[in-house]
A and B are shown apart, each in its own frame.
Chain A
């Protein structure tokens, strides 16, 4: 038997690979977005610190902006450095 495919529709799912389910700052799921955004995905990305803790980018940036000195990871209090790897 010979088949001819006339057309097809691809469906994909995605999720962030993080070491936790929820952002420790806003408590929203990582697969959702931060409370200031409407849609999850590239517009509301996750970022990691060198300490390995992970947050919504918008959440950790808000925290760092509120801390003029001694910017620390909210989870482990080590100095916060973005992991750019």
Chain B
């Protein structure tokens, strides 16, 4: 692990443990992450028995060299963005642990689990009510958005 920055050393460990024991329905693109530890793509499957069963999604993680003190930038990418009250059609996710409630004890794995569980508890597939306005006016980086976290039910 010589030559790696502190952020990369931690990400290298996370990558190995995610390869060894991936949470159900979660698979990391290992080769891509190996090439650049600061940019990961995760393939995610909608859990059985939920509204997203049978669907496949792609999550992008971007890390700064301040990780894990700084939260990763996490967005859905690709041609299937989950239709969910907290997920905008441009892939931005309204989830407090990605900004205000981030902790350096969290990890790629725990973020993936939170997102799987957020999808799984969804009762009705719909976009956030302000979707059209948000996607027109937001910054490309969801961390620049001042999120209001008001709904813990989904």
Contacts and interface: CB of A to CB of B under 8 A. Distances in A.
Interface residues of B, number: 13
Interface string B3-17: 001100110011000
Contact of B105 (A34, A62, A74): A74
B34 interface: no
Given A74-B103, A74-B104, A77-B103, A35 B6 contact: yes
Contacts of A34: 6
A63 interface: yes
Interface of B: 5-6, 9-10, 13-14, 66, 68-70, 103-105
Nearest to A26: B10
26 contacts: A24-B104, A24-B105, A25-B68, A25-B104, A26-B9, A26-B10, A26-B68, A27-B10, A27-B14, A34-B6, A35-B5, A35-B6, A35-B9, A35-B10, A36-B6, A59-B104, A62-B69, A63-B69, A66-B66, A66-B69, A66-B70, A72-B103, A74-B104, A74-B105, A75-B103, A77-B103
